């Protein structure tokens, strides 16, 4: 999927490129916080954030963004630590999506064969536990310093991107958990009845499988881009 931001690498375009990134981050923030947001929008949001981090990496490489003060170094060192935690969280999210795909495949087999699905409840509960653990990680990282320092726009961009990434990942987990376990809204409808443990529509499960695959792919893109931007920042601090 094409990035929503234009690729600008010339130093003379630095300020306009920063403005584009800020606009994209504001758009993403509005999309995430909207009551009508969907899982599909969150999947697209992961890829959009991947593009944002790609452009942040370009800005890091600009000569004008070489670290030149002890204060800048201190702030960027703090973002280095936060970025590592965020990368770990994104990796955990990929594992969650993979686990969810396995659960969906098991549910499909139950539907096709009409088997008893008591074991599926255990797997759903396992996914819920993983989701709650990841949500706790989100809250922990979100408590990190979010100082708005006017003297270092790069730091401000990194903080804003980190904040929105955490919000998006946390919202995605909440929505997916609701899809599985909340009555009336669940893709597993009328779950665990007396004789048939799980009653669900094949097309609904297939739709959930597709969107989970999209989320997994989006998280993978975001994961790679965050690593690349972190490496660029590390090189900047080491130079």
- What's the rounded Cα separation, in Å, for the pair 127 and 21? 34
* Residue 231: band (very low, low, confident or very high) from pLDDT cuts 50, 70, 90: very high
pLDDT value for 46: 94
The model's confidence at residue 228, banded by pLDDT at 50, 70 and 90, is very high
Is 8 within 8 Å of 59 (Cβ atoms)? no
| φ/ψ of residue 199, rounded to 5 | -120, 120
Residue 189 and residue 117 in contact, taking contact as beta carbons nearer than 8 Å: no
In degrees and rounded to multiples of 5, residue 189 shows phi and psi of: -90, 145
**pLDDT-above-90 percentage for the chain:** 21
CA–CA dist 221, 48 (Å, integer): 10
- Predicted local distance difference test score (pLDDT) of residue 34: 86
The predicted pLDDT at position 23 comes to 92
According to the model, what pLDDT value does residue 27 have? 93
* Residue 199 bridge partners (DSSP): 189
For 8-56, the DSSP string reads ---GGGHHHHHHHHHHHHHHHHHHHH-TT--HHHHHHHHHHHHHHHHHH
Rounded-to-integer distance, Cα 104 and Cα 85, Å: 29
Band (52; pLDDT cuts 50, 70, 90)? very high
Rounding to the nearest 10 degrees, give the CA dihedral for residues 133, 219, 216, 128: 10
Among 27-41, 120-134, 213-227, name the one with the lowest average pLDDT. Answer: 120-134
Of 34-43, 77-86, 104-113, 189-198, the poorest mean pLDDT is in: 189-198
> What count of other Cβ atoms lies within 10 Å of the Cβ of residue 115?
15
* pLDDT tens digit sequence for 104-114: 888 777 767 76
Q: Where are the domains of the chain?
A: 17-142+149-238
Tens-place pLDDT, residues 79-121: 888 888 889 989 988 888 888 888 888 877 776 776 555 666 7
**Higher model confidence: residue 87 or residue 66?**
87
Place of tokens 């590390």: 234
Contact 107, 62 (CB under 8 A): no
Say if CB 220 and CB 94 are below 8 A apart: yes
């Amino acid at each position: 999927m094409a990035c929503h931001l234009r690729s600008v690498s010339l130093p003379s375009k630095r300020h306009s490129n920063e403005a584009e990134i800020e606009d994209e981050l504001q758009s993403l923030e509005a999309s995430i916080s909207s009551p009508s947001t969907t899982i599909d929008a969150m999947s697209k949001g992961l890829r959009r954030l991947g593009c944002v981090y790609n452009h942040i990496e370009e800005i890091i490489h600009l000569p004008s963004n070489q670290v030149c003060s002890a204060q800048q170094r201190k702030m960027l060192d703090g973002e280095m630590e936060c970025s590592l935690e965020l990368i770990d969280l994104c990796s955990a999210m990929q594992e969650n999506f993979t686990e969810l795909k396995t659960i969906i495949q098991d549910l499909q087999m139950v539907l096709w064969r009409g088997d008893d699905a008591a074991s599926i409840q255990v797997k759903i509960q396992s996914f819920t536990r993983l989701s709650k653990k990841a949500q706790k990680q989100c809250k922990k990282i979100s408590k990190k310093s979010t100082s708005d320092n006017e003297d270092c726009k790069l730091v401000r961009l990194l903080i804003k991107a980190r904040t929105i990434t955490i919000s998006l990942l946390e919202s995605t987990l909440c929505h997916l958990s609701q899809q599985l376990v909340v009555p009336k809204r669940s893709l597993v409808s009328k779950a665990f009845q007396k004789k048939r443990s799980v009653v669900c529509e094949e097309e609904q499960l297939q739709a959930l499988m597709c969107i989970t695959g999209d989320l997994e792919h989006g998280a993978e893109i975001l994961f790679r881009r965050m690593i690349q931007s972190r490496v660029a920042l590390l090189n900047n601090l080491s130079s």
